[in-house]
Structure 1
Amino acid sequence: MSKKQILKWKHIVLILLVLVLSVCGKAWRDFPKHYKSLSYVTIVHVLYYKLCKRHLVWEFTPSNFNWRLLRIIHIFIVTPSLVLLFLSKYPKARWKQLCYLVKWVLSSSIVEYIAHKQKMIQYKHGWNIFWSSVLYAMMYILSSLFTKRPLLTFFLSVCSIVFFIIKFKVPIKSKQLFSRRFDTIVDCFYHSKLEDLL
């Protein structure tokens, strides 16, 4: 089996692992209760790919996997399943909430660190596991806050987006050098080794 095929199977195993945990944890039963939070997380995930289209700070390494399909699976299935699993067992006591949050952030960060070492996730433009941990903490906190305090969640989301744009120098107002007809070619460049070389 080639390295690309092994990487493809690693992605499949990771996706299946999250789905199995979600099913075994019976988190799907709480979907009607948390669907707004899951929609929020999905929208933020899509927004990341839209705003950082030409300046992705982290990205899944596709290798033998259609990169669009891999993104769609993570945006609409994996990440919402992870958040649903988190929210379904979210405790009510403040101290327990803090311990629960720390456990989830550490667990998610460890899994991502292993995935990064296995070349399943690439970091660019100064991103590292520390920033991923911060992002996990924000994702879990804001998803739990969304249904109770949507305006506050929206405000904190906008502040964090602005912070990350400034911190990682994301070019928001860059002029498009190519028309939409060439988007596919440009996307292939940004998802290949050529981007690292140039």
Structure 2
Amino acid sequence: MHIAITIWAVVASWKFWNWERFYRYHTTMLYIATMNLLYLFFTAGYHLWKMESDIGLPVPIINMLYTFIVFPCTTILFLSRYPEYLKGQIYHNLKWIFIYIGAEWVGSLFNLITYEHGWNLGWSLLFVIMMFLMFRLHYKRPLFAYLLTFVFTVLIIYYFKIPWNIPVEDRL
């Protein structure tokens, strides 16, 4: 499933996006990649959600596929087709939230994504809603997005008791 999602993201972004406008969206693509790397760092040995292998690929490779291919490609698709009017924006956000949470739900049914430490699909739904709002905010007002990201990160770390102050090697 992870390979299929990766192929879909690449094909869809290649087919439906104008790559001449890459520079318009590349900072938000880097933002999502950086946020996922920070998640992987802060939760090493204490994951809230974890991708599982379905065809023998090592989990770190799966994480890198999502970090550097799937998330940036879907960010491009999300931002490059963002509507001008509120009704269209609401529909656009709901469509992408449905795509992400639907893929995660299917993945959870087949144990390709697992949850730990109190995280569940409901938390993922809230996270995905916030994530897509943050993509657009980062595109329009990056400094404000960084501030809110910091606040949300601190709240998640404390609410889910992520042992960020313990060295990674002691958590593994």
After TM superposition, the score normalised by the length of structure 1 is 0.79
Unaligned runs of 5+ in 2: none
For residues 144-183 of structure 1, what are the alpha-carbon distances to aligned partners after superposition, in whole Å with 9 as ceiling and x for unaligned?
A: 11132122101110111011112211011125665xxxx9
CA distance in 2, matches of 1:23, 1:177: 39
* Partner deviation per Cα, 1:3-40 (whole Å, 9 max, x = no partner): xxxxxxx3222221222222222254432210011111
What is the match of residue 19 of structure 1?
Answer: 10
2:81 to 73, 89, 105: 89
Could you list the structure 1 runs, at least 4 aligned residues long, displaced by more than 4 angstroms after superposition. Answer: 175-178
Residue ranges of structure 1 left out of the alignment (5+ in a row): 1-9, 187-198
| Counterpart among 145, 166, 170 of residue 158 in structure 2 | 166
Deviations along 1:61-91, one digit per CA (max 9) or x if unpaired, are 0251122211111101111111111111001
Task: State the Cα deviation string for residues 93-121 of structure 1 (Å, max 9, x = none).
Answer: 12321221112112211111011112111
Aligned equivalents of 1:161 and 1:150: distance in 2?
16
Amino acid at match of 1:40: Y
Q: In the alignment, residue 52 of structure 1 is paired with which amino acid?
A: T
The answer to whether the Cα contact below 8 Å between 1:105 and 1:137 also exists between their aligned partners in 2 is yes
- Partner residue, 1:194: none
In the TM superposition, 1:53-72 aligns within 5 A as 53-63=44-54, 64-72=56-64
Aligned to 1:142: 134
From the superposition, tell whether residues 150 and 62 of structure 1 become closer, same or farther in structure 2 (CA, over 3 Å). Answer: same
Structure 1 residues 66 and 165: CA distance shift in structure 2, 3 A: same
The aligned residue for residue 99 of structure 2 is 107
Q: In the alignment, which of 144, 152, 168 is matched to residue 144 of structure 2? A: 152
Q: Label 1:27 to 1:144 Cα distance change in 2 as closer, same or farther (>3 A).
A: farther
What is the match of residue 50 of structure 1? 41
- Tell me the equivalent position of 1:127: 119
Would the aligned equivalents of 1:60 and 1:121 in 2 still touch at CA under 8 Å? yes
- What is the aligned-residue identity percentage? 26
Q: Kindly indicate whether structure 1 or structure 2 has the higher relative contact order, using CA contacts under 8 Å at least 6 residues apart.
A: 2
Q: How many residues align?
A: 171
Matched to 2:41, the amino acid is K
